[in-house]
Amino acid sequence: MSQYDFIVIGSGSAGGVLAARLSESGKYKVLCLEAGSASERYIWSRPPGGTAFTIVNPKVNWCRQSTPNESTANRPIYVPGGKLLGGSSAINGMIFNRGQRQDYDRWVQLGCHGWSYQDVLPIFKRLESTQIGSDRYRGRSGTIKVTVAEKTSPFFDLFIASARQVGYPVNPDYSGDTQYGIAMAQQTIYRGLRQSTATQYLAPARNRPNLVISAGAEATSLIMEGKRCVGVRYCRSGQMQEAQASREVILCAGAIGSPKLLELSGIGNPTVLAKFGIPVLHALTGVGENLRDHFGPTMKWAFKERGISLAGRGRGLRLLAEIVRYGLLRKGFISQGVATLRVFTRSSEEVEQADIGLLINPFLMEIVNQKRRMSNRHGFFVYAQVQRPESCGSVHIQSKDPFADPAINYNFLATQMDRTIAVAAVRKAREIAAASPIAPLISEEIEPGPQVRTDEQIIDYIRNNGSTTFHPVGTCKMGTDVSAVVDPQLRVHGIKCLRVADASIMPIIISGNTSVPCMMIGEKCADMVLAHHDAEHGAHPRAQRAADPIDVDEVSTV
């Protein structure tokens, strides 16, 4: 059995950061297990436009499906997840979004002490390098380079002008003082290339003699001695192997994979474990519960004229021209991420901070032979989402087979609040589309269509047509209540030498994309782990910096 100080299970947005940070000093031997392949073997993981391929390719993606239920009109919902070095940071839409100050302050109210906005802001600043915004909120010399999306068609200025017409300010930095307003997206893209944890954290660290990165190694269970985690069993190249951790195992398999591995190891709800004959090592009823995601409809409008949107650039000779342009200059729409225009707004005047997100793209998609592709029809689409949904589902194993997918049960729009905000999101998108200068250029609202007007019709449309933005969180939630799985130090309640650090620990979902917050979680977990194990030598320098929160004045909520 191979021996290490730390074993990190998963190399994604959090795990890739952790493996790099824990091995940084050279003092500790670290094993990082990744079920998927090395990302450099897949050409489409670096060009931003390659997301169209990575998001559906089972070679680099788990490509899971949720269990059909009434919340989605008995439709399965697609649940992708990165299955390569860098995890989902190597296949996602590359949007940089921290969420809002109130998200993290709410975590503290839920018992997650040490995770307030003032606590995590220094970590966000540390991990990024950007010219956006002020030094008060933004980092200038971090690992992940952050840029602003390029305006690749006339559509952007037209839509921004229409949003301003109905009262939205142009927000120069939605990761700064306030999220509210309209803005070109911030992206983890630099010089036309994706910035993932594989490229920015693991690649510079991979030649360290104390770091072993094992791709194609899928964890199957934790090795336990009583209630102490001492290692991991995993399968690589068809062979079962074991690795031992003398200090800690840190689970970073994501909101779907982490609860699955805990349950397979006998840590979870006894009722769930009993169904499959798994002995209960430690009862934690919250494992797999509290599943949340951003869910909403895709709304589509058609233009009367050519030349406004990106229609046609995704096929034929125009696509070839875009590929050449990208190859020579790293410019054009292939150099950009997904939904590069954003609106953050409020469902009502009584709401203090943005609870609706509109994600806008200057083209239409179509399905041909069961495959999605860019349409040649000129138009645009808006994805309208509830930013902080209250409705919760679950993720639980449905077999003792470690290679079988768990049952993913969403429970969207279960609360009146979620339904009210979802309806408001559709109406907010329509309000902008009905304003000049964009409105006179529109020939029709394709979806939902003018016949969908009442609140009930809108909710029915969303249930029958809605999708997620692939942000599952919450299934190993952090806290101190009886349903919490990890404490604020990310240690699994009742188990020694085992932590979880990924999107699953979020007690509630943040109001934005989840990849960069997961990087923050990885950085913060590394600080806590190193501070603990370096205690005999005094505080670890990185942990000491993170221990001093930045004093940020009350931010604007407009």
> Does residue 160 surpass a pLDDT of 80?
yes
Summarize the confidence of residues 503-523 as an average pLDDT: 99
* 3-state SS string for 84-139: ECCHHHHCCCCECCCCCHHHHHHHHHCCCCCCCHHHHHHHHHHHEEECCCCCCCCC
In whole angstroms, how far apart are CA 7 and each of 15, 214, 488? 10, 11, 20
Element spanning 215, H or E: strand 211-215
Mean pLDDT (the chain) is 94
- Among 256-265, 321-330, 339-348, 397-406, which stretch is predicted with the lowest mean pLDDT? 321-330
Residues 385/513, Cβ–Cβ less than 8 Å: no
- Among 244-258, 303-317, 372-386, which stretch is predicted with the lowest mean pLDDT? 303-317
- Model pLDDT, residue 546: 40
- Give the model's confidence band at 15: pLDDT under 50 very low, under 70 low, under 90 confident, else very high: very high
- Model pLDDT, residue 41: 75
CA angle (18, 188, 554) in 5-degree steps: 85
| Domain extents in the chain | 2-69+77-536
Rounded Cα–Cα distance for residues 362 and 377 (Å)? 11
**CATH code matching the domain that covers 2-69+77-536, chosen among 3.40.50.150, 3.50.50.60, 3.40.190.10, 2.60.450.10:** 3.50.50.60
Summarize the confidence of residues 168-179 as an average pLDDT: 97
DSSP state letters, 310-333: -TTTTSHHHHHHHHHHHHHHS-SG
Summarize the confidence of residues 14-38 as an average pLDDT: 97
In whole angstroms, how far apart are CA 399 and each of 56, 77, 236, 468? 25, 20, 21, 26
- Give the model's confidence band at 553: pLDDT under 50 very low, under 70 low, under 90 confident, else very high: very low
> Does residue 552 surpass a pLDDT of 60?
no
The predicted-structure confidence for 430-452, as pLDDT tens digits, reads as follows: 999 999 999 999 999 999 999 99
- Among 40-54, 272-286, 427-441, 489-503, which stretch is predicted with the lowest mean pLDDT? 40-54
- The one-letter code for the residue type at 488 is P
In whole angstroms, how far apart are CA 260 and each of 264, 414, 453, 475? 6, 24, 41, 10
- Model pLDDT, residue 1: 78
Task: Locate 276 and state its tokens.
Answer: 């499959």
The catalytically annotated residue of 294, 378, 471, 540 is: 471
DSSP conformational letter for 211: E
> Does residue 537 surpass a pLDDT of 70?
no
The predicted-structure confidence for 215-224, as pLDDT tens digits, reads as follows: 999 999 999 9
- Model pLDDT, residue 540: 46
- Give the model's confidence band at 536: pLDDT under 50 very low, under 70 low, under 90 confident, else very high: low
Q: Percentage of the chain with pLDDT > 90?
A: 88
- Give the model's confidence band at 542: pLDDT under 50 very low, under 70 low, under 90 confident, else very high: very low
> Does residue 368 surpass a pLDDT of 90?
no
Residues 133/96, Cβ–Cβ less than 8 Å: no
Name every residue whose Cβ is closer than 8 Å to that of residue 369 and which is 6 or more positions away in sequence: none
DSSP state letters, 283-298: E-TTTTEEEB--EEPE
533 as an active site residue: the answer is no
Rounded Cα–Cα distance for residues 124 and 237 (Å)? 37
Full-model pTM: 0.95
> Does residue 556 surpass a pLDDT of 60?
no
- Among 258-272, 370-384, 418-432, 468-482, which stretch is predicted with the lowest mean pLDDT? 370-384
Asked, as a colleague might, if the bond just before 448 is cis with ω within 30 of 0, I would say yes
- Model pLDDT, residue 317: 84
The predicted-structure confidence for 307-365, as pLDDT tens digits, reads as follows: 999 887 877 888 899 899 999 999 988 999 999 999 999 999 999 999 999 999 999 98
Q: If DSSP codes are grouped into helix, strand and coil, which group holds residue 168?
A: coil
Q: What is the dihedral of CA 173, 174, 177, 178, to 10 degrees?
A: 140
> Does residue 245 surpass a pLDDT of 70?
yes
- Give the model's confidence band at 33: pLDDT under 50 very low, under 70 low, under 90 confident, else very high: very high
> Does residue 125 surpass a pLDDT of 60?
yes
- Give the model's confidence band at 131: pLDDT under 50 very low, under 70 low, under 90 confident, else very high: very high
382 bridge partner residues: 299, 360
Element spanning 159, H or E: helix 155-165
